[in-house]
Amino acid sequence: MRYGRFDDENREYVIERPDTPLPWVNYLGCEAYFGLISNTAGGYSFYRDARLRRISRFRYNNAPLDASGRMIYLRHEGERETSDPLFWSPAWQPVRRPLDEYECRHGLGYTVIRSRQGAITSSIRYFVPLGESLEIWDLTLTNIGGRPAHLSVFSAIEFCLWDAWDDLTNYQRNLSTGEVEVEDGVIYHKTEYRERRNHFAYFACSRPLAGFDTQREVFLGPYRGWDSPAAVESGRVSNSIAHGWQPIGAQHVRVDLQPGEDTRIIFLLGYHENPAGEKFDPPGSQTLNKRHLRPVLDHYRQPEKVETAFLALGAYWDGLLSRFQVNTPDEHANRILNLWNGYQMMATFNLSRAASSFESGIGRGIGFRDSSQDLLGFVHLVPERARERLLDLAATQLPNGGAYHQYQPLTKRGNHDIGSGFNDDPLWLILAAAAYLKETGDVRLLDERVPYDGTPGTETALYEHLQRALRFTLDRLGPHGLPLIGRADWNDCLNLNCFSDTPGESFQTTANRDGNVAESVFLAGLFLLASQEMIGIARFHHRLPDVEAFLLAVREMENAVWKAGWDGQWFRRAFDSFGRPVGSQECDEGQIFIEPQGMCVMAGLGIVDGRARAALDSVAARLATSHGILLLQPAYSRYYLHLGEISSYPPGYKENAGIFCHTNPWIMIAETKIGRGDLAFDYYRRINPSLREEISDLHRCEPYVYAQMIAGRDAPSHGEAKNSWLTGSAAWAHVAMTQWILGIRPEYEGLRIDPCIPSSWDGFSARRTFRGRTFQIVVRNPDGVCQGVAEMKVDGVDVPGVVVPADLPEGDHSVEVRLGR
């Protein structure tokens, strides 16, 4: 069953009823000010850091779900039809009174919620103007009935006292710190401004207010919820000024509408920082300095300025997405690739894993491996920002080449609580750097001076950071010559040194055993892939002597994998801290894992001798389901002390045999490495969210974005998704589809076009911007093959090989490719 539909032309997903299985969310903001917004206007906003600069409150784990957010109430003040309620929410929540019509459109950086209740239609458009740290709620009300309507509009937001963690925990202090100011109808939230903060939030409106409230319990009334505030029920706010307790911003506006008349009200919720030394106005007082903010408020209270900002936002997204557009025989691939996948990748770029319906914004900062992998997908969209991200990541690297697992976006410093010791982390940086270099050709990146652990004076060239990252693995080899796993590798839950038997202990940070035995075959595969990238980087950077050293390391690691990492029909996963294999026929449970099959074949292992094919056949036979490919089989049926968190999950969920979507594209890529385009694309379709729209009752998450996990075969809810939006699945699915299935792959010397498509396709076309040139690519497949370029023409001229040279004149170029035997 569906809850909406794709509107491809308008680049929106249209949700047709408010009671979706879960809140279906969108993101507002793409630079510094961000908000999550659901299809009923739930969610919250923050400035740069979802934990440290939270602007509005949201209660995760609440019942009903998603009932706090951007609240608007409409109330009849005059006579009304008997069928009309006294008050309702035009976005359905929080009042949840049935609406006569409802529609939510999630678009690129904006959401529009339209509804009708009796004769009153409402449309609210939410967005964040580019370059601003504020969000706009642009409300239009229309009276489509035959008699005048007299309405009250109430808007409300619950302020968060900045640090979202503290806000949830430290009530003995927080219930006494809240402070606001109200001036000219603008509500300012200034908790802690008197002391060390120089920032405040504000809630403004384009209309004169009939009144306001800033103390939550005054607006709601004692023991009442947001679904029936006393002020809305009675039609009267109290002009309360919050002192301590729970500061809110609630505004009351009166509206009279003649039949057929409409009106527009603009609400502005924003964040503002004052220059140090200019906090107060007049100086020496305790009154907020609003001089710098006033012009911004004056600007956005004007509807035509709001319109201009909205158009600019559309143009920004046009510019980004036009860098890569495809037209294949598959509408679901087209829809996701041309729009939603790119859009989702920008969310993962901006937010890493910080804030979603499943990530509370107080847990994780920017993950080292997560952001490095995200970069593989989005680098062509925002190369300049990718560069900055690369340098930020590298600056959190440790002198030994290792990396903090996460860093805090506001401070850009490594997160000490989680520390380091995830032995895969540094290698992903090499993959990310290579992706950036191939996309841009910007070799100067490698000479950028970057510190270690954010410590001034320790700077070396980025190239050396990458060398140290490789070295980090080689300095940590185990008994079989394979990389030691440390706390964990990509699979955070494979904790082979952890041995945790204390409830509540974090698997990620608990003290580990010495860790000199447990090894990872996956990490060996990743090391090989990273070494190959490093060889490419060294050549590009004219460091030819280094190439020899890297090649030697590659040969030794390959030998180690074949000696100890091959299980007969597939690659093993690891060796535990007793030196016993994990992911082997010898095991009772967890005999085969997806990760090493993908990674080792991506690194080229076994392609020539057929072992890659055997491994992938094992994946098809043992791990593939119609909902995607399982992480492992058989699932762990109980907790194993020596395996850690992976066996903490009930079978079928998360790393314990869930469909961890992030890993599926590795298998797609691996399939293209052995030329099986049909199967590669079949796997692509299984997790493509658009294809799962039909089964929204089962899938439950948004049908326009990838989810981290779909419940596996062993779970009672096989096929149900969780953790949508912020997942490496987005970048990897994009890489698998565009670079390996469509085969349009940036390389140092140019743009490789080497597709591996379904044999049933008669071809496809694509438009790709690459190093300042735009390529119109047409691929024909008259013989019905999967792979093999028989002919390539650039601007009508035959070109040998499959790489379009990077040094063509700037401008547009045509590329024609014929596949064939």
Point out which residues bind ligand GLC (CB under 6 A). Answer: 353, 364, 367, 369-370, 490-493, 508, 645, 654-655, 708
The kind and range of the H/E element at 481 are none
What is the C-alpha to C-alpha distance for residues 805 and 323, in angstroms, rounded to an integer? 18
> In terms of CB distance, is 418 or 817 closer to ligand GLC?
418
Provide DSSP, 737-765: IIIIIS-EEEETTEEEE--B--TT--EEE
Listed as own residue / partner, the contacts of 562-566 with beta carbons closer than 8 Å and 24 or more positions apart are 562/605, 563/480, 563/481, 564/480, 564/481, 564/482, 564/521, 565/480, 565/482, 565/521, 565/524, 565/596, 565/600, 566/611
* Options 489, 492, 576, 754, the catalytic residue: 492
Q: What is the smallest separation between the CB atom of 508 and ligand GLC, expressed in angstroms?
A: 6
CA 46 vs CA 13, 88, 235, 270, 555: distances in Å: 24, 27, 31, 9, 49
Q: What is the smallest separation between the CB atom of 356 and ligand GLC, expressed in angstroms?
A: 12
> In terms of CB distance, is 138 or 370 closer to ligand GLC?
370
Contact criterion met (CB below 8 Å) for 327 and 765: yes
Q: What is the smallest separation between the CB atom of 663 and ligand GLC, expressed in angstroms?
A: 8
Q: What is the smallest separation between the CB atom of 418 and ligand GLC, expressed in angstroms?
A: 8
What is the C-alpha to C-alpha distance for residues 558 and 480, in angstroms, rounded to an integer? 12
* CA angle in degrees (0–180, nearest 5) for 85-88-91: 145
Backbone φ and ψ for 183, nearest 5 degrees, come out as -145, 130
> In terms of CB distance, is 503 or 545 closer to ligand GLC?
503
Q: What is the smallest separation between the CB atom of 654 and ligand GLC, expressed in angstroms?
A: 5
Q: Which residues contact 389 (CB under 8 A, 6 or more apart)?
A: 349, 371, 375
Alpha helix (H) ranges present in 251-340?
294-300, 303-321, 331-335
> In terms of CB distance, is 272 or 364 closer to ligand GLC?
364
**Tokens (6 digits) for 762:** 């008669």
> In terms of CB distance, is 353 or 389 closer to ligand GLC?
353
Q: What is the smallest separation between the CB atom of 629 and ligand GLC, expressed in angstroms?
A: 14
> In terms of CB distance, is 577 or 708 closer to ligand GLC?
708
What is the C-alpha to C-alpha distance for residues 684 and 588, in angstroms, rounded to an integer? 30
Contact criterion met (CB below 8 Å) for 734 and 345: yes
> In terms of CB distance, is 213 or 655 closer to ligand GLC?
655
Q: Pairing relation of β-strands 789-794 and 797-798?
A: antiparallel
What is the C-alpha to C-alpha distance for residues 252 and 180, in angstroms, rounded to an integer? 17
The kind and range of the H/E element at 672 are helix 664-673
Q: What is the smallest separation between the CB atom of 130 and ligand GLC, expressed in angstroms?
A: 29
What is the C-alpha to C-alpha distance for residues 418 and 806, in angstroms, rounded to an integer? 42
**Tokens (6 digits) for 319:** 């510019």
Contact criterion met (CB below 8 Å) for 710 and 631: no
Q: What is the smallest separation between the CB atom of 119 and ligand GLC, expressed in angstroms?
A: 49
492 annotated active-site: yes
> In terms of CB distance, is 618 or 656 closer to ligand GLC?
656
Q: What is the smallest separation between the CB atom of 512 and ligand GLC, expressed in angstroms?
A: 15
Sign of CA dihedral 357, 421, 482, 587: negative
What is the C-alpha to C-alpha distance for residues 17 and 12, in angstroms, rounded to an integer? 15
Q: What is the smallest separation between the CB atom of 485 and ligand GLC, expressed in angstroms?
A: 13
**Tokens (6 digits) for 645:** 């968190």
> In terms of CB distance, is 392 or 459 closer to ligand GLC?
392
What is the C-alpha to C-alpha distance for residues 567 and 564, in angstroms, rounded to an integer? 8
Residue 520, classified by CB atoms within 10 Å of its CB into exposed (0-12), middle (13-18) or buried (19+), is buried
Q: What is the smallest separation between the CB atom of 364 and ligand GLC, expressed in angstroms?
A: 6
Residue in the shown chain whose Cβ atom is closest to ligand GLC: 492
> In terms of CB distance, is 500 or 781 closer to ligand GLC?
500
Torsion (CA) 496, 497, 503, 506 in degrees, nearest 10 = -90
**Tokens (6 digits) for 89:** 């929410």
Contact criterion met (CB below 8 Å) for 16 and 4: yes
Q: What is the smallest separation between the CB atom of 369 and ligand GLC, expressed in angstroms?
A: 5
The kind and range of the H/E element at 347 are helix 341-351
> In terms of CB distance, is 458 or 510 closer to ligand GLC?
510
SS (H, E, C) 383-448: HHHHHHHHHHHHHCECCCCCECCEECCCCCCECCCCCCCECCHHHHHHHHHHHHHHHHCCHHHHHC
Q: Which residues contact 371 (CB under 8 A, 6 or more apart)?
A: 349, 352, 389, 393, 432
> In terms of CB distance, is 251 or 708 closer to ligand GLC?
708
The kind and range of the H/E element at 552 are helix 544-560
Contact criterion met (CB below 8 Å) for 779 and 755: yes
> In terms of CB distance, is 612 or 670 closer to ligand GLC?
670
* Radius of gyration, CA atoms only, the chain: 28
Q: What is the smallest separation between the CB atom of 360 and ligand GLC, expressed in angstroms?
A: 12
The kind and range of the H/E element at 556 are helix 544-560
What is the C-alpha to C-alpha distance for residues 125 and 141, in angstroms, rounded to an integer? 12
Q: Which residues are catalytic?
A: 492
